[in-house]
Structures are given as C-alpha cells and as structure tokens.
Chain A
Amino acid sequence: MGRIGGRTRANGALLIAAMLLVSPDAANATDNDQNAPRLTELSLEQLGDIEVTTVSKRPEEVWRTAVAIHVITHEDIRRSGATSIPEVLRLAPGIEVARIDSDHWSIGVRGFGDQFSKSLLVLIDGRSIYTPLFAGMYWPAHDALLDDVDRIEVIRGPGGTIWGADAVSGVINIITKATAETHGALLSAGAGNIDRGTGALRYGGGNGRTFDYRVYGKGVNRSAEHHADGAAFDEWWTTQAGFRTDWTPGPGNTLTVQGDVSKGSHGQRVSVASLSPPAQVALDGSLHAVGVDVLARWQRDFTATRGFRLQAYVDRTSWLAPHFGEQRNTIDVDFLHHATLAARHTVTAGVGARVSPSRFIQQVPTLDFTPRVQTDSVYSGFAEDEMALVPEHLWLTVGSKIEHNNYTGVEVQPGARLLWAPRPGQSAWASVSRAVRTPSRIEDAIASTSYSTTTTVPIFLRVTGNPDFDAERTVAYEAGYRARVASQVYVDLAAFHNRHRGLGSFGLGSVTVEQTPLPVHAIVDVLYVNGVSGRSDGFELSPEWQPRGWWRLRGGYSYVRFDLANTPGSIDVNAVNRYAGSSPHHQVRLESRLNLPGGAEFDAAYRYVSALPAQKIEAYHTADSRVGWAVSPRIEVSLAGQNLLAPSHAEFGHNLPQPVGIARSVYVEVRWWRANPWHGLPSAAWPPRPRSQ
C-alpha cells in the first residue's frame, strides 16, 4: 500500500467507494479529488461503514518470521466448506493432503506423503498428537470443533530447533480461540452424502476480563467413500466433548485449563496373514478409539521483555482395531522462559519432559511387538537467541534443541535463521537447520508377518523391529521472500534444499523354509535399516490478490523433486521409489472468495495434483465450491460441494489393488448463534449503553 505516485488518486477512489456504499446516489460521482472530503473529515459512523480490504490482516509475526509459514485463519476455515482438520490443511501451500478413504489421510509436507503422515508434528493448543507408535498421525482420532479454531499455523520445513525431534518435514499448530471470544451459544447441524450427519453445540460465558469459559460437544457420522466393489468398509463416527477456561487474576498472568474426551469408531479394511491357508484374509472392521486429555498452561509476563510459560498435559488414548490395539498415557511438562537482554538480544530457553508408557494389545498371531509394554521418554532443553543486528531491519536467530530419547539417546538439532525486513510489507529470510525423526515403535520393536506371493510355496515377509535402527536425519537449507508488491497484491515465495540421511527402508532379507505349520512355506526375514539417503528440492509460490473489498483471489503452486538412492549395502529400491513417488511433484491451487449483496458468499477452489506413481494414482484435478447465506444476524445457511469435477477420483493407493475413490460430495449446514454482544457483529439496531451510572 501507499505507493507514493498513486496516493491522491487512491484517496479519491476510496472516497468514491465509500460513497457508493453510503449512498447509492453517488454512483455517478467522478474522480474529483478537490471536492471529495478527506477521510479525516468523516464521522465515526461513516468510517465504520467503509468497506475495507483485510489482505494486510496477517499476523504481524508472519512478516517477522524466518520460516515458511502459512496461517489458515478462522475465516479461511469457515469459507472452505471443509468439515475436518485434514481437509482444512489443503488450504496451505506445500502440503499434500491425500484422502486414502473416508477416515484416513496421507499428509506430507514438501514430499514424504505417507499413510501415517510421518515426520510431521501436529499440536492442538500445544498438545502433541504425534504418536511414537508409528511416528505419525492417526487423524480420525483427533479432532477439534472447527468453530473454536482461531487459526492453524502451518510451518513447512524443520521445526526441530524449537519443537524437537519429529518436527522434520513440518509443524502444524492448531490454536483455538481464547474463551473471551466465544461467549454465547452456537448450534450447528449439517447433512450430506459423505458427511451424513454432523452436529455441534457450544456455550461460552464469563466476565470477559478475569474469567471466561466454554464447553462444547460435537458428533460426526460419515459414510464410506466410493468403492467399485461395493465394500463400504470405511464408514465411521466420532463424538467429542470438551471445555476450556481462561483465568486472568492480574495483568500478565493467565491460567488456562482445557480438556477433551472423545470416542469413535473408524471403519477400515486390514489384510491379515496366516501361515495356514488361506495365506491372507481381508478383515473389515472398525478401530474403536477413546481419548481423554487435560492440559493446563500458566503464562506469566513479568515485564514487557521477560516472562515464562509453564504447560503440562496428560493424554490418554486407547485404540482397539481388528488387528491390533494400543493403550497409551502421555504426560508432558514444558517450561519456556523469554527475556530481552542488553536490548538487542531476546533469549528464549526452556526444558521439557515427556513420558509415555504404552501397552500393545495383540489381536492376531501375525502382528506383535516385543516388548509389548514400553515407556517412551523424551527429555529436552532448548535455547535460542534472537539478535537484532540492525534494529527493526535485520535479525539473526541462533539456537538449538538438545534432547535425549529412549531410542537413539542424545540428539542435537541446531538452527540459524536470518531475517531482513528492509521496509514494512517486505521481508526476506534464509535458514539452515537440522532435524531428526526418532524411530517409532514399529521400526524398533514390531514383529509382523505379511503374505507376499505364492510361487511353488507361499512366501511370507516377516518384518522384525531393529533396536539399532537410527534416527532419520535431515539438514534443510531454506530461503524465502514475502512482499506486498502492490496495495492489494501479496506474494510469498519459499524454496528449500533438503539433505536426508538414513531414511528408513528394509534391509537384506534372509530366506528360511519352514515345515510348521503346514503347508511348507518360505519366510523372508527383513529388518528395518537406515538404507536411503539423498536430497529433495522444491519451492512454493503463493500469491494473493484482493481486486475488490468483496473479492479475494489466492493461488498456490508447489513443486518438489527427489534425488534419493540406496546407501551401500541396501538394495530396497521399493523404498526409494515409495519416497519419491508417493507425493505429487506439482500441485496447483486457485481460490476465489466473493461477498455478494444481501449477506451471501460464493467461494470456489480448484486444485491440480500430479501423479503418484508409487501409489498408482494418476494426476487429477477437482474443484470445491460453497455458497453461504446469512439469513439473519443469528442464522447462517451454507451449501458446500467438494470434489465436484468427477463422480470420484482416487488420491492415495493404500488400499491397492483397488484404491478407494473419493466421491463428489454435497453438504448443507445450518448454524445458529446467539453471540455475546461484546464480540458479536456490530449492529445499528442495537445501541450499546455503558453500564455504569
């Protein structure tokens, strides 16, 4: 904004825009700077009636952050028509969201799409939902009321320096609103062909100053996606309820306590091998999940430049599927202190501990863990110094996390980031960082047998966990540039070059022929090893343009390529192909968001995803659309259609030989709320009166 040449003209134009809104009679006014009053001559009411663009409404920290970050706002979520967190993540550049079936997603950041969404750290209000069982995310078991979500910060690239091991390819921070912002009642209900029935209820209150609270409950029932053979094994439902309280006994002193309980049943098809005929059966069943979590966070700011945050949570999950079960309790304590020293140094330091005892429940003879009972633990320390080399313009941040885990011992994850902001609305950054993904329980302790093929005898693959499996290590070189290139045009560019060492693969197999149980069969024994190394490169370009106050356009192009190879002694070419071929090399996304007269909204998004050869998925393109209408200040009705360009398309091949088709879907939702006036929409019919006197 504020290109000098266009100033006076722009002011006049603004006035015309204002007059158009204030009085339609002014539509014929011409661009006349002399006669148009200045903005400073308008009354308070007139100022409040001018439509504005909010393209600059990015959290200011984004400009001051030397990482590739994209913030999905509450408004973005609402207008996407998405009904689950994984679907919302499609809004961020550089993220590959592939829906495997109705209740499973492969989510990768800058490549490494995987059914377990490995190497990605996801936090809900500071609580990690990453599981050490398979070093990834089990998406259907974790949810939040999307209406409560204030924003989702999606960070591409390693976050290990701050967040520690497992934040290798990216970090996703889901942050819910403070309770002072959710006063009042909210009721929503929806129905559709995939989202068969959804309902949510929220109530919040408090004094808006020292104590506020909210409680919520939601339920979702989703149907199966498209199955050519009619086997609708992926139907599922979840219910969840929770609360949050924020208590502020004094300035700079806030205690937040929140918690959730959830229960769900997630349909899936699993292949189970048996050494006796039949060698393999497909079991259709459900994973039953129960989750309970409670978190407390104490934020204390002593002065403008010194404060701390102490957070602790307990998280209990219990999963029981046809082929396995696991019970896990996680206790996590985290302390962070920040202080500005000697004016130019802001030092942040912290310590943390996480202890996570778990018990594996064997359901079938061919899948087990040794030992079944294990306690995972991580103890960490972290320090970072942000140095203002040139105040307000050039910063260097250097820091490291040092942690000890029960698999690989001590891991060091240093990083250095340089940020240059020559003027407001423009910044460039570069960074080097190191991140590690520590082994999962699968790589460490699994004992699984799966059917491979039959030649003269049936052949089985027996995978055994390898206690010597080492951490996967990545060094990332990144650079980025952000600029408001014109008053309503914003561009964000980020590029990366990652060097990977010791990615997981299978080691050389040894074959034994066994007589018992009959029939005679061959077993190929393999171990997990760190057998793949190499590099990945790519970039993401995300422009945003707001041609009108009521019309916003966004684009995104993401590119990634891989140059991976087996390390000497490893011949698992499949692993190389799987890493390189399970993520799209090209992704394109285009979004339009239109505010229409009469409280209506029309939003559309198009996306193109290139082929995933390792998953036998062809390139596809599809589109989503949403129409919303504020029937009254308290009621909103919306109709959302997703995957509209084809009856169905497959996005990931986990269920090969017949990948599940992701169906075209339609979803209608009605939302009713009785907002608290304090944070409700301004309304002319409701003159506020001061309460005093």
Chain B
Amino acid sequence: MARSALSRLAAATALTVICTFTADAQPAPRSEYEIKAAYLFTFGKFVDWPPRPARDESAVTICVLGADPFGPVLDATLAGATIRGRKVSWRRLTGPEDAAGCHIVFVSASEERRVSTIVPALNQLGALTVSDMPQFASHGGMIQFVTAASRVRFEINLLSAREAGLTVSSELLRVASAVRNGAGPGE
C-alpha cells in the first residue's frame, strides 16, 4: 500500500518533470474559453430542441450574447463542425431580442447585471442557456460552467431546461457536477 502510493508519487513527479523539461515542445494548457467553446458544441449532441418557426432546423446555431470572451477561439472550434448531420453555425448577439434563431446561447459575464431579465427571455425562445457567471443557474439559466481545480465542469438546472421544452440526455446529467431541479439544491 505504502509502496504503491510511493510509486504513484514518483510517477507524478516524473510527469511534472517531463512537463517542465519539454516546455518548448508543448505550449501551456489552453485557455478555459477554448474548453468552453468545445463544451458549447458538445452540449448540442445531448439536447433535443422543440421545433421553432424562427429557427433554421437544418443547422444548430450557437450564439454568444454580450461581450465576447471567446474571440477567434469560437470560430476555430466551430468551423466545419456538424452535430448529427446538421451543420453548426454561430453568431454574436448584442441583446436577447436578436436570439430568435439560436439553439444554444452563451450569456457572457458582461450581462450579469441583466441576467434576471435575459434568462427568462431566452428560455422563452427554447434556447439552451449557458454561462459562466456565478449564480447563473439560480437565475434560471440551464447550464452554468464551474471552474474548480483548474478544470471546467458544469452544473445543470434541469427544471429550466424542461420548462423551455428541451430534452436533456441522461448522459449530460450523469457528467454534470450537480443537477438542480428547481425546488431545491442538487443531491
């Protein structure tokens, strides 16, 4: 037991040393927004949307509302991507009123002050609402990114998703760090 712990520690140390000494070959881990952009895309695989007249159902549209924290990362991540045969398109919004065709809306932290009015408007449109602002799920947002221990994970407010008519795959619920279901905190 002690021996295996020791060898694991040695392996971890060796790994750290490798990481350190191969610095030139391997640039640092990427920014969290690269991961978040990939998540936005991946969420699309696990959600079914009710059809809406304003939406182009041949594509899955990902939208960013507010000050864009992704920059070119979003374009690079989503370029050429498809979800179940539907191509992925993306655009940036200045206000919730532009969100009519969106399947997934990432709400930037810049909108924190207005979140309590933005979220109901987006939910009304049947869009999957995602953000990394604190308290997003408490305000009725569907998915809230949580960065802990240098890893990006997410929490789900299942009630909001259901109220908006979205069907969320159990796979997404299984991986979520926490699932909240309206009446109370996740268990």
**A residues neighboring B (CB under 8 Å):** 1-2, 4, 6-7, 9-11, 13-14, 16-18, 20, 24, 27, 30-31, 38-40, 42-45, 47-57, 59-61, 63-64, 150, 178, 180-181, 183, 206-209, 248, 251-253, 301-305, 307, 338, 391-392, 423-425, 487-488, 546-550, 595-598, 676-682, 687-692
Contact = CB atoms under 8 A, between A and B. Distances in A.
Interface in B140-187: 140, 146-155, 158-159, 171-187
A692 B139 contact: no
B50 interface: no
A692 B158 contact: yes
Contacts of B72: 1-2, 4, 7
Nearest to B27: A13
B175 A55 contact: no
Given A1-B33, A597-B9, A548 B25 contact: no
B82 to A, nearest CB: 10
Interface in B19-55: 19, 23, 25-35, 37-39, 41-42, 46
B7 interface: no
Contact of B184 (A6, A39, A59, A208): A208
Contacts of B39: 44, 47
Given A181-B134, A681-B148, A53 B28 contact: yes
B177 A596 contact: no
Given A51-B150, A56-B32, A688-B177, A304 B185 contact: no
Given A550-B150, A676-B185, A679-B178, A251 B120 contact: yes
Contact of B150 (A1, A305, A549): A549
Interface residues of B, number: 86
A309 to B, nearest CB: 10
18 contacts: A6-B27, A13-B28, A27-B15, A42-B38, A53-B30, A54-B147, A57-B32, A60-B112, A183-B185, A207-B183, A208-B184, A251-B116, A304-B114, A391-B94, A392-B67, A678-B155, A678-B186, A691-B179
B171 A691 contact: no
Contact of A689 (B9, B16, B179): B179
A27 B21 CA distance: 12
Contacts, number: 251
A682 B146 CA distance: 9
Given A52-B32, A251-B117, A549-B28, 9 more contacts: A9-B27, A44-B175, A47-B39, A57-B147, A60-B109, A251-B116, A391-B94, A423-B71, A690-B173
B111 to A, nearest CB: 8
A47 B35 contact: yes
Nearest to A7: B76
A56 to B, nearest CB: 5
Nearest to A2: B72
Nearest to A691: B181
A42 B94 CA distance: 30
A597 to B, nearest CB: 4
B59 to A, nearest CB: 16
Contacts of B35: 39, 47, 50, 52
B42 A40 contact: yes
B48 to A, nearest CB: 16
B121 interface: yes
Contact of B19 (A20, A302, A304): A20
A61 B114 CA distance: 13
A597 B113 contact: no
A691 B95 CA distance: 34
Interface string B54-97: 00000000000011110111001110010000000000001110
Contacts of A7: 72, 76
Contacts of B146: 679, 682
Contacts of B149: 681
B132 to A, nearest CB: 8
A391 B135 CA distance: 27
B31 A63 contact: no
Nearest to B150: A51
B38 A47 contact: yes
Nearest to B108: A60
A596 B17 CA distance: 11
Contacts of A51: 29, 150-151
A682 B148 contact: yes
A209 B181 CA distance: 10
B122 to A, nearest CB: 11
B18 interface: yes
A617 B20 CA distance: 41
Contacts of A14: 29-30, 34
Contact of A598 (B9, B96, B114, B180): B9
B186 A301 contact: no
Contacts of B68: 424
Contacts of A31: 25-26
Contacts of A42: 38, 42
Given A60-B108, A304-B96, A682 B186 contact: no
